[in-house]
Amino acid sequence: MTSPRLDSKGRIVVPKEDRDVWHIEPDDAVHLRVTGPNGRTRSVRDTIDSRGRIVVPKDKRDDLNATEGDTLDVTVLGVEEGDYICEDCGDQYDLGKVLVLNNGDRIVCAACSTPEDRVIS
């Protein structure tokens, strides 16, 4: 987990060491788990730019109570469509296998799912 600061345009920089571990290149689709100053966690998916930045959408920034200069806790969950990690147990799953999404905020495998989760694949 890393803790980048939110810039004035709602972007955070995915640290170089994380980009290297995940082999993230510009224009790759990245899936992140972002925790804001209020302790809430939201899922963010977007394309990374040439400087390693990704936009946290305004509605999610509002929900996280995040403003310019705030430090956010960020965990990379996957790169490109179909490559995700269960947020509960850490196992890696392909989107073609069973995944469940709880309220659009977290991705978990079938083994870690709860009755409130819904299948997205």
Average pLDDT (89-101) is 57
pLDDT of 14 higher than 80: yes
pLDDT of 98 higher than 50: no
- Per-residue confidence (pLDDT) for residue 97, from 0 to 100: 46
User: Which domains, and CATH codes, for the chain?
Assistant: 1-81 (2.40.40), 82-121 (no CATH)
**pLDDT tens by residue, 48-91:** 999 999 999 999 999 999 999 999 998 887 776 555 677 777 77
Whether the CA torsion 61, 34, 10, 93 is positive or negative: it is negative
- Give 92's contacts (C-beta < 8 A, 6+ positions apart): 83, 84, 85, 86
- Per-residue confidence (pLDDT) for residue 95, from 0 to 100: 44
CA distances from 95 to 23, 63, 108 (A): 19, 27, 11
